[in-house]
């Protein structure tokens, strides 16, 4: 059974991850780390001093993600980071720590979004340069980052896999109501439009995805991994 710690346990995502982990036979929830601890990394780590920990899932903040990383390194545990808008400093620290532990940075842990990324890169490759591409990123009014981490990953996927440099003017953000998360990628060419979309109707899809990612990551060799690798959409090697 995987000994699991959840950082940001009182947030929207952390609450659902903890609830679902308690019902999942793969996991034993050994620590629920709260936002109050983010200003005191040592205090958060102390909760785990006398416990075994195999995996840490973080949905908190940039500072919280760094503390989760410290905990994972101290316990030689796998780390799944779902926190969005990570700073360059945090990303660099995680890349360095991936030399000793397996790390996955996944701003969106949905299986459907991973497939969306795969589909849009295939569409871009097949349609060619004669089509304009726009991304519409819609979330609830309380979401702080715009564009979302998912929208930025879609931009990166188009660049890295299809060689398309999408300008910021082509990413349109809406923050309104209680929308959990919608992403539409629109290809517009002569006489036609193609729209590939993903809509999340419950946050549980992200919580379940994070748990699946953690279960997959435990036991992997140190390194940086992606959600696409965990789903078999891209190749991986324990190296």
Model confidence pLDDT, tens digit, residues 120-162: 999 999 999 999 999 999 999 999 889 998 999 999 999 999 9
Based on the residue annotation, tell me whether 139 is a catalytic residue of this protein: yes
Sequence-separated (6 or more) residues with CB below 8 Å from residue 129? none
Class of domain 2-105+204-230: alpha beta
Please list the residue range(s) of the chain that carry CATH number 3.40.50.720. 2-105+204-230
For residue range 72-114, what is the model confidence (pLDDT) as tens digits? 999 999 999 999 888 999 999 999 999 999 999 998 899 999 9
For residue range 174-220, what is the model confidence (pLDDT) as tens digits? 999 999 999 999 999 999 999 999 999 999 999 999 999 999 999 99
Measured CA to CA, the distance from residue 220 to residue 195 in angstroms comes to 36
Please list the residue range(s) of the chain that carry CATH number 3.30.360.10. 111-200
Strand 192-200, strand 181-189: pairing? antiparallel
182 beta partners: 138, 199
Q: Where does 111-200 sit in CATH, by number?
A: 3.30.360.10
Catalytic residue among 75, 93, 117, 139: 139
Q: What pTM does this model have?
A: 0.84
Based on the residue annotation, tell me whether 143 is a catalytic residue of this protein: yes
| CB neighbourhood size of 190 (10 A) | 6
Measured CA to CA, the distance from residue 119 to residue 157 in angstroms comes to 10
Catalytic residue among 28, 34, 140, 143: 143
């Amino acid at each position: 059974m995987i000994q699991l710690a959840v950082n940001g346990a009182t947030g929207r995502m952390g609450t659902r991850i903890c609830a679902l982990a308690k019902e999942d036979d793969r996991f034993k929830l050994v620590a629920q780390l709260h936002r109050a601890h983010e200003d005191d990394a040592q205090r958060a780590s102390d909760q785990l001093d006398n416990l075994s920990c195999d995996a840490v899932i973080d949905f908190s903040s940039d500072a919280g993600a760094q503390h989760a990383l410290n905990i994972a390194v101290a316990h030689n545990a796998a780390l799944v980071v779902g926190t969005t808008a990570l700073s360059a400093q945090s990303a660099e620290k995680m890349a360095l720590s991936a030399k000793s532990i397996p790390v996955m940075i996944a701003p969106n842990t949905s299986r459907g979004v991973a497939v969306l990324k795969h589909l849009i890169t295939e569409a871009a490759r097949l349609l060619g340069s004669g089509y304009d591409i726009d991304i519409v990123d819609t979330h609830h009014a309380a979401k702080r980052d715009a564009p979302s981490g998912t929208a930025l990953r879609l931009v990166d996927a188009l660049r890295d896999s299809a060689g398309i440099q999408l300008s910021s003017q082509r990413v349109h953000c809406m923050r309104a109501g209680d929308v959990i998360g919608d992403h539409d990628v629109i290809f517009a060419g002569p006489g036609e439009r193609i729209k590939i979309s993903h809509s999340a109707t419950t946050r549980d899809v992200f919580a379940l995805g994070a748990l699946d990612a953690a279960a997959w990551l435990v036991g992997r060799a140190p390194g940086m991994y992606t959600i696409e690798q965990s789903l078999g959409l891209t190749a991986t090697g324990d190296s």
